[in-house]
Amino acid sequence: MKDSAESGWGGVASRVVCAALTVWLVSGTALAQPKGDKVFHAVATDAKGVETEVHGVIFYWEEKISETAFVPHELKEVPVKRGTATVKIKFEAIKTVDLKPSGNGAPPAVSITLNDGKTGEFTLAIAGSFKGQSDFGEVELPAVELKRIAFK
């Protein structure tokens, strides 16, 4: 026979505590996710004119910290140079990025059109890649091999 504490209020109390902890953990996880974690979609056109639809697009580059160690960087912005300044243009503000190869191994020149119609001429600050998912799997598009990125 069960003890009255297990079948009575004690059992109910333990279930209520368990349910409250579950709700707290789930809401805590949801609240811990960064705001503005928007997923971006784009159509990339490479130097050969091939278009690739990319979902969850990021700008990716690796920082070499030693001969055998690299630190990966995943950005939702395009780092560009304008004179000596580095400007980080957020994906959410960009309509298109047109890239023009430099031809001498330097990062390409870019013309960026914002959603509000403003345009600017820059040089890519980092020789990175645009990465994301295509219908066929993960895709990496080196910026030096692209003609255009059009954000949707």
- Within this chain, do residues 65 and 104 fall inside the same structural domain, yes or no? yes
Domains held by the chain: number: 2
Task: Print the domain residue range for 2.
Answer: 1-33
Q: What is the largest CA-CA distance in the chain?
A: 85
Indicate the DSSP class of residue 83: T
The confidence band for 135, taking pLDDT boundaries of 50, 70 and 90, is very high
Distances (CA, A) of 59 to 5, 73, 98, 112, 136: 59, 8, 15, 15, 19
Residue 36 is predicted with a pLDDT of: 56
Question: Other C-beta atoms within 10 Å of 110: how many?
Answer: 24
Whether 112 and 96 map to the same domain: the answer is yes
pTM: 0.72
Residues 2 and 77 in one domain: no
- Domain check: are 57 and 120 in the same one? yes
pLDDT digits (tens, 9 = 90+) for 70-92: 999 999 999 999 999 999 999 99
Nearest to 57 by CA among 86, 33, 77: 77
Whether residues 4 and 77 fall in one domain:
no
Domain match, 134 and 95 both: yes
Q: Are residues 49 and 21 in the same domain?
A: no
In contact, 54 and 141? CB cutoff 8 Å = yes
pLDDT (tens digit, 9 = 90+) per residue, 52-67? 999 999 999 999 999 9
- What is the per-residue burial (b if ≥16 Cβ within 10 Å, else e) of 68-103? eeeeeeeebebbbbeeeeeeebebeebbbbbbebee
What share of the chain in percent tops pLDDT 70? 76
